[in-house]
Amino acid sequence: MSSGFKILRRDFTSRGRLGAFPTIHGTFKTPVFMPVGTQATVKAMTPEELEDLGVEIILCNAYHLHLRPGAHVIKELGGLHGFMNWKGPILTDSGGFQVFSLTPLRRITEEGVTFRSHVDGELLFLDPEGAVRLQFDLGADIAMCLDECIPYGAPPRYVEESTMRTIRWASRSKAAASSLQGMALFGIVQGGTDLDLRRRSAQALVDMDFHGYAIGGLAVGESLQERLDMVEAAMEVLPEDRPRYLMGIGLPEDLVTFVGMGGDMFDCVVPTRCARTGLLFTHDGRVDIRHSEHARSNKPLDELCGCYTCRNYTRAYLRHLHMCKEILGVRLNTIHNLHYYMELMAELRKAIEDNRLAQYQRDFFNNRDTDGWDNTQWDRKEGQD
């Protein structure tokens, strides 16, 4: 199987690579960060604003959209692209993360997962075949196999049983997608924090030959070192000619680190969710706009940033909006955080193109406060946004 993925440039100072992945709705450059639009919207942003920021691909959640408004409704209205007026590529999560985040409301069997809707309590059954068809009906450009995101600290026997089941589900997903044209399908590497299981899972998926491969089940409570080890174990096995997608990993420090390890695709709720809580990302590190030190500051949030927010508003005003719970504050914060992320990815791609990614990484970590990077407050306790 050919995925269409092309490696355009390799960085000789690291394992970073510059690539391009074609879809029916356009080609996106890698490494890429995908803003999360769980409910067919990236919160507080219009599609046109996302495009102006340089966003090329977004992520939507098949499980949540199946509940509201329903995949059949979205299909009737032209699929996700027509429904939400987004012209670029869309990747959909299968619902596998909800197997983790909605633990009290679901039951897993070999056949699939039975959920009790968190919206109205209705029973919903999702199996690998149905998850693929659901994403196809939504109009996804890239779909994910149904998997289980294994809780951190789960007993070894459970981790192995779940990983093997995810592999079997991947095989069923691949078979179900064989007759569906125009949609790429990615397998998802699981294995908890077991290095051997991670390698076995990756090899089993590679043998099935997917369009791309995701590394899942991370940012759920493990330490930074465990995360690094699990990504390394999977990278040892995954093929060079397919994109590697690190699911739910998206702190700036993560992006800079894992791009250097060969990561191509990333998503996370961090930039949009943090914007709503007043935590903003700058070239010097994080700024908590709630702090009183900003109450009389006439400085922009980030003097090196050219986003609409930093060009036009002061820290004092942003703090005022946040403390008053004004909607404009959420929008301005979100514009800034997403602009920062898009600029960061553009800088990483340029560093790869110029064969200086290792130097970029050193400068990045030397010039900013990275306190809190290895902190469980950033885990994906609730991955939807």
- To the query of whether residue 93 is one of the catalytic residues in this protein, the response is yes
3-state secondary structure of 225: helix
**Helix 128-138 vs helix 156-177: angle between axes, to the nearest 10 degrees?**
50
d(CA 42, CA 191): 30
Q: Which of 11, 137, 254, 267 is catalytic?
A: 267
Nearest to residue 189, comparing CAs of 203, 178, 176, 177?
203
Which residue has tokens 């209205």? 77
Classified as helix, coil or strand, 360 is helix
Structure tokens at 306: 């050219």
Task: Specify whether the CB–CB gap between 239 and 258 falls below 8 A.
Answer: no
Structure tokens given for 92: 């959909």
- Joined together, the tokens standing for residue 272 give 């949009």
- Which residue in the block uniquely carries the two structure tokens 């680190």? 257
The CA angle 337-338-343, to the nearest 5 degrees, is 100
Active-site pick, 93, 137, 254, 385:
93
Annotated active-site positions, please?
Answer: 93, 267
